[in-house]
């Protein structure tokens, strides 16, 4: 170890040089004197530790502890770990620290120039460094010999000694750099030793001591400790628990669990990278991505990715990562725009993963379905031969996009063709991924929507068998298919069985189905009781989360308080219980003031009271809020169909548009048949009435698509 030593520097140092014959010569320097280590090493090789120590004491004017410490350091550097440990064991290091403590603890007087007390202070620091370094090297020796617990205890003694010497923490800029290096190395090493020893709670305490005590660590050393602690919290499987009350500052945020504490540490590290305090470490961002994904906070992750300086990530990689974040957060529009940029012909237009993600986003929106078909087809054409899984995913997404595109088709022939292609793609995907449960459910829903109820029933039962009845959506689909087959009592048995298999908080969708099944069987009072129970469940769930509930990025449960009140209002309206209906509608309006569902219910109430103009106004307002809201289009068309011959073309246009959006709406077919009959087109009227009758025979209590 090469070093330059001032004349006043009493700390011994090792120097290496090269003689004329090319042989490496090692020297030890202290007090302005240097001696060659050849003689000392020869005595060590003979096992004469005391003679070697005497040579150093006489040659360099050192005391016993300094000579022994230097001798142990020499043995350690020669690779003789056991010999170094024997030398270190012969020193009472704690006694030496106690003697040095009052000398170093004295404050240096604020005088210019180098006073006597300053020189003594520097001498004491050098002596302390030599002793502390000896303990640190003893720790390293024990670690190399596998005596990890002893090494951790000795390392703890180093830090205890430093805290005794510096009661108020190590002062910034007033400590010798070599003493600071020894302290920093010991602080970093201690938690690693406890981890190697399997003492994980001690490791956690060591990490927190390293980060909360005043060790005057530099940015890089502190960052390594923070990263090590964050990685330990994320992957160790040991629950750390919150820091002790003694170190919690009033008003400060205290993490509740490992994940929160790890995220805080990683975000601090990322911030340091942005500010240029430490070098960029890509693994820190990888750990942060994992941690934030675990708690479904991908919108926070997106913000972190956006703050990364340009040049760290390739722009296309950043766009794709951001798209994943925003997609998981339910912000599909932003995600799709980012993917469009990454798939531009001048960027990476053939990236299969990006194409599949874009197709997935498009498969959820009928207006983007045609674009999604293009992405899925491009993904399939770019899959290589052995990528069967990606081909299966591509075919599945192609089928979903084609199914959504069929709903937007204005031509019956085109709609039929797209539906057929959608089913072919999904069946082909099933051939490649026969165990894909999502695909199994989607095939069941597709067959249900095309009114192939027998096939849908088989897929629903298969899904429940494969999942062991643990997934709510399988039960929902089975109950809806049975309701479409008018097997209401069996559907109710299914919902009861499903509630036995699910937790209380998951029963909302099932209770909603049960209430609608009661209505279908004209058991209105039972339906009201079920709705009341559902409302109590929603309220209890709301209270259990408390006022500071963190709303999930994408609400997975399809039942909420608004839907319950609106459903009750509809039910009371059908029974002409107007006062109760108004109360429930008012509660729903408080939760969602501007809603086509509320206006639809209000219109039904007005129509039930023969307030036709008010009903028509409510339906029109609903369409102004949501132009594609089919139930109000149908009801407006129905009202206009009764307004005389001049209004029939308007009614026919509205009902045709409603059927374009929802070809399985039996009420639209019925009222369109009435218009054709009134206008004298009997053949068309018969076709419409037949379609309405067929759909009524297979009409579920709610849309099949509500399952997905």
Q: Is residue 306's pLDDT more than 70?
A: yes
Q: How many CB atoms lie within 10 A of CB 355?
A: 29
pTM: 0.74
Question: What is the arithmetic mean of pLDDT over 473-484?
Answer: 94
CATH topology of domain 633-708: 1.25.40
Share of the chain above pLDDT 70, in %: 83
Question: 11-15, 88-92, 526-530: which has the minimum mean pLDDT?
Answer: 11-15
CA distance 424 to 403: 11
Confidence bin at 544 (pLDDT 50/70/90)? low
Q: How confident is the model at residue 125 (pLDDT cuts 50, 70, 90)?
A: low
Minimum mean pLDDT among 224-228, 352-356, 623-627, 640-644: which range?
640-644
Mean local confidence (pLDDT), 558-587: 90
> What pLDDT, on a 0 to 100 scale, did the predictor assign at position 99?
63
Listed in sequence order, the residues at least 6 apart from 470 whose beta carbon sits closer than 8 Å to its beta carbon are: 501
Q: Are 361 and 331 in contact (CB under 8 A)?
A: no
Percent of the chain with pLDDT over 90: 48
Q: Give the residue with greater pLDDT, 190 vs 250.
A: 190
- pLDDT grade for 23, boundaries at 50, 70 and 90: very low
Average the pLDDT over 285-307 and give the result. Answer: 90
Predicted local confidence at residue 107, as pLDDT:
47
Per-residue pLDDT, averaged over 287-291, amounts to 92
Mean pLDDT of the region 433-460 = 91
pLDDT at 662: 86
Query: What is residue 20's predicted lDDT score, i.e. its pLDDT?
Result: 41
With cut-offs at 50, 70 and 90, classify the pLDDT of residue 383: confident
- Contacts of the segment 511-515: beta carbons below 8 A, 24+ positions apart: 511/537, 511/559, 512/558, 512/559, 512/563, 512/564, 512/567, 512/702, 513/476, 513/479, 513/480, 513/483, 513/701, 513/702, 515/567, 515/571
HEC-encoded secondary structure of 259-300: HHHHHHHHHHHHHHHHHCCCCCCHHHHHHHHHHHHHCCCHHH
Q: How far apart are CA 184 and CA 211, in angstroms?
A: 11
pLDDT number for residue 213: 84
What is the average per-residue pLDDT within 90-118? Answer: 56
Q: 509 is written with which tokens?
A: 């969708």
pLDDT for res 556: 47
In this predicted structure, which of 107-121, 172-186, 429-443, 537-551 has the lowest mean pLDDT?
A: 107-121
In this prediction, residue 29 carries a pLDDT of: 65
For tokens 């799709």, the residue is 336
Q: In what order do the strands lie in the sheet with 13-18?
A: 13-18, 24-30, 33-36
Confidence of residue 378 (pLDDT cuts 50, 70, 90): very high
Q: Between the CA atoms of 351, 357, 363 and 369, what dihedral angle is there, to the nearest 10 degrees?
A: -40
Band (pLDDT 50/70/90 cuts) for residue 560 is confident
- For residue 665, pLDDT over 80 is answered with yes
Supply the pLDDT for residue 244. Answer: 64
Residues 26-82: pLDDT tens digits?
676 666 566 667 667 776 766 667 777 777 766 666 777 777 788 888 888 888 888
| pLDDT at residue 216, as a whole number | 84
User: Higher pLDDT residue, 634 or 128?
Assistant: 634
pLDDT score of 264: 92
Res 110: pLDDT: 47
In this predicted structure, the answer to whether residue 83 has a pLDDT above a threshold of 50 is yes
Which pLDDT score is estimated for 111? Answer: 42
Mean pLDDT of 691-705: 90
33: helix, strand or coil: strand
| For residue 102, pLDDT beyond 60 | no
Long-range contacts of 176-181 (CB under 8 A, 24+ apart): 176/122, 176/125, 176/126, 176/129, 178/11, 178/129, 178/133, 179/125, 179/126, 179/128, 179/129, 179/132, 180/216
Among 19-28, 55-64, 113-122, 462-471, which range has the highest average pLDDT?
462-471
Over residues 578-610, the pLDDT tens digits come to 999 999 999 999 999 889 999 999 999 999 999
C-alpha of 322 from chain center: 13
pLDDT by residue (tens digit) across 649-662? 999 999 999 998 88
- Classify residue 112 as left (phi > 0), alpha (psi -120 to 50) or beta: beta
Confidence of residue 257 (pLDDT cuts 50, 70, 90): confident
For residue 536, name the pLDDT band (cuts at 50, 70, 90).
confident
Which of the residue ranges 120-134, 149-163, 635-649 would you say has the lowest mean pLDDT? Answer: 120-134
Query: What does the pLDDT read at residue 548?
Result: 40
Across 346-350, 425-429, 641-645, least confident range: 641-645
pLDDT on residue 599? 95
pLDDT in the model for residue 56 = 72
């Amino acid at each position: 170890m090469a070093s330059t030593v001032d004349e006043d520097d009493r700390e011994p140092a090792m120097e290496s040089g090269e003689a004329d014959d090319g042989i490496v010569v090692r020297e030890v320097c202290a007090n302005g004197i240097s001696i060659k280590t050849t003689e000392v090493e020869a005595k060590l090789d003979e096992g004469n530790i005391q003679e070697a120590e005497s040579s150093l004491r006489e040659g360099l004017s050192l005391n016993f502890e300094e000579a022994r410490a230097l001798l142990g350091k020499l043995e350690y550097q020669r690779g003789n770990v056991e010999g170094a440990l024997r030398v270190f064991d012969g020193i009472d290091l704690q006694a030496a620290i106690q003697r040095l403590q009052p000398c170093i603890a004295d404050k240096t007087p604020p005088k210019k120039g180098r006073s006597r007390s300053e020189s003594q202070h520097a001498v004491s620091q050098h002596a302390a460094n030599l002793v502390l370094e000896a303990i640190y090297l003893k720790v390293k020796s024990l670690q190399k010999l596998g005596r990890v617990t002893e090494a951790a205890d000795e390392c703890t003694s180093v830090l205890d000694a430093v805290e005794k010497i510096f009661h108020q923490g190590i002062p910034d800029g007033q400590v010798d750099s070599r003493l600071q290096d020894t302290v920093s190395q010991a602080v970093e090493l201690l938690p690693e030793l406890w981890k190697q020893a399997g003492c994980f709670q001690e490791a956690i305490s060591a990490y927190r001591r390293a980060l909360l005590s005043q060790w005057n660590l530099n940015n890089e050393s502190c960052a390594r400790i923070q990263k090590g602690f964050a990685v330990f919290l994320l992957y160790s499987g040991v629950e750390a628990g919150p820091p002790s009350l003694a170190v919690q500052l009033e008003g400060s945020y205290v993490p509740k669990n490992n994940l929160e504490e790890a995220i805080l540490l990683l975000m601090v590290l990322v911030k340091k990278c942005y500010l240029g305090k430490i070098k960029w470490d890509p693994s820190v961002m990888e750990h942060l991505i994992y941690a934030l994904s675990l708690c479904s906070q991908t919108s926070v992750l997106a913000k972190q990715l956006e703050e990364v300086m340009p040049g760290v990530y390739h722009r296309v990689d950043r766009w794709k990562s951001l798209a994943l974040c925003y997609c998981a957060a339910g912000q599909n529009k932003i995600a799709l725009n980012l993917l469009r940029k990454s798939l531009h012909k001048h960027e990476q237009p053939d990236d299969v993963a990006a194409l599949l993600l874009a197709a997935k986003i498009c498969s959820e929106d009928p207006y983007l379905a045609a674009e999604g078909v293009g992405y899925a087809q491009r993904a399939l054409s770019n899959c290589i031969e052995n990528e069967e899984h990606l081909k299966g995913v591509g075919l599945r997404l192609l089928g979903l996009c084609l199914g959504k595109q069929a709903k937007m088709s204005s031509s019956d022939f085109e709609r039929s063709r797209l539906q057929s292609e959608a089913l072919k793609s999904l069946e082909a995907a099933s051939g490649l991924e026969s165990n894909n449960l999502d695909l199994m459910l989607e095939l069941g829903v597709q067959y249900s929507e095309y009114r192939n109820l027998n096939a849908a029933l088989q897929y629903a039962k298969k899904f429940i068998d494969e999942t062991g009845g643990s997934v709510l959506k399988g039960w929902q689909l089975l109950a809806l298919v049975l309701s479409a087959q008018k097997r209401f009592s069996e559907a109710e048995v299914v919902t009861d069985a499903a509630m036995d298999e699910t937790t209380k908080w998951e029963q909302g969708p099932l209770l909603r189905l049960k209430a609608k099944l009661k209505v279908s069987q004209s058991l209105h009072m039972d339906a009201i009781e079920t709705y009341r129970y559902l409302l109590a469940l929603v309220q209890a769930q709301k209270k259990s989360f408390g006022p500071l509930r963190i709303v999930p990025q994408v609400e997975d449960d399809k039942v909420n308080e608004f839907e319950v009140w609106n459903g009750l209002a509809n039910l009371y309206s059908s029974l002409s219980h107007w006062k109760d209906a108004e109360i429930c509608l008012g509660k729903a309006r408080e939760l969602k003031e501007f809603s086509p569902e509320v206006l639809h219910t209000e219109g039904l109430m007005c129509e039930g009271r023969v307030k036709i103009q008010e009903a028509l106004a409510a339906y029109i307002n609903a369409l102004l809020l949501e132009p594609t809201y089919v139930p109000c289009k149908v009801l407006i068309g129905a009202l206009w169909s009764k307004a005389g011959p001049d209004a029939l073309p308007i009614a026919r246009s509205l009902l045709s548009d409603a059927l374009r959006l929802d070809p399985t709406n039996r009420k639209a077919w019925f009222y369109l048949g009435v218009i054709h009959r009134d206008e004298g087109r009997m053949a068309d009227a018969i076709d419409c009435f037949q379609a309405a009758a067929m759909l009524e025979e297979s009409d579920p209590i709610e849309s099949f698509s509500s399952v997905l």
